[in-house]
Amino acid sequence: MEFLIAIIIILLLIIIPNIKIVPQAKNYVIERLGSYYQTWENGLHFKIPFIDRIASITTMKEIVKDFDPQPVITKDNVTMQIDTVVYFQITNPKLYTYGVENPINAIENLTATTLRNIIGELELDQTLTSRDIINNKMRVILDEATDPWGIKVNRVEVKNILPPKDIQDAMEKQMRAERERREKILQAEGEKKSSILIAEGEKESAILRAEAKKASQVKIAEGEAEAILKLKQAEAEGIKLLKEAKADTAVLALKSYETLSKVAEGEATKIIIPSNMEGIASFGTVLNEMFDKKNNK
């Protein structure tokens, strides 16, 4: 009985470790008697003791590898440090296991040599401004080269480009000069716009002042004309009232003298007065007839 229990315990110790549960996004590569047998995906599996063995465990997730900076030389003989980030995924666990020894190290070396070849065809300025072109070329070359290893390169990114210190200083000076140039251009454009606005404002102000002066002069002229008209109307009304009151010749002559005195206020006015009163009376009569004619009109 004890022997049977011992056998059962031994069998359990042998069988239980060979029951495997493969988690999600993992693949187990199984060898049987030293040769590739099959690939286990997620689920419950049983491995034959002493015959089957797990050759490798691979992840089906996307893998991100940030490789150390690599020294590269541009077409115009400038040495710089460039580090890259590679995003890849294992598509065939069998090829990944048996295709190449140490696949990550192989990808790193392949990335370094590909980067040197691409940068060697570009000058410094092109290298600094052509990251997308470099990324696309590297992705295509790496994806094609790693396909026999069961690897799919999804994306390659140039992370940092570090030129030599003297080149960095020269680039900073150039950028500073460019910023100063743009600042001066913006300042000049602002001053130009300001001058234009000031000139337009002065022009509009002068136009408004001229229009105001014109309107003022028109109002003054209209007022003077209206005053003269009122004065003449008042004089005509006065003569009409005298005539209706049957004023004698002396009164008319007196009014005529008052009128003449107003007319004589002009600098260039000359008046000839008769020497006798009869002439004055007759002169008044003449003026009276003149005013009558004026009123009749």
How far is the C-alpha of 144 from the C-alpha of 153, rounded, in Å? 9
Long-range contact list for 244-248, CB < 8 A, 24+ apart? none
On whether the CB atoms of residues 122 and 75 are closer than 8 A, the answer is yes
* Tens-binned pLDDT, residue by residue, of the chain (297 aa): 777 788 888 777 788 888 899 999 899 999 999 899 999 999 999 988 889 999 999 999 999 999 888 889 888 888 888 989 999 999 999 999 998 888 999 999 999 999 999 998 988 888 888 889 999 999 999 999 999 999 999 999 998 888 878 777 777 777 788 888 888 888 888 888 888 888 888 888 888 888 888 888 888 888 888 888 888 787 777 777 766 765 555 555 555 556 555 555 555 445 555 554 445 445 455 455 554 554 555
The architecture in CATH of the region 62-163 reads 2-Layer Sandwich (3.30)
Contacts of 269 (CB under 8 A, 6+ apart): 263
pTM of the predicted protein model? 0.56
CA distances from 40 to 30, 33, 51, 58 (A): 7, 17, 16, 10
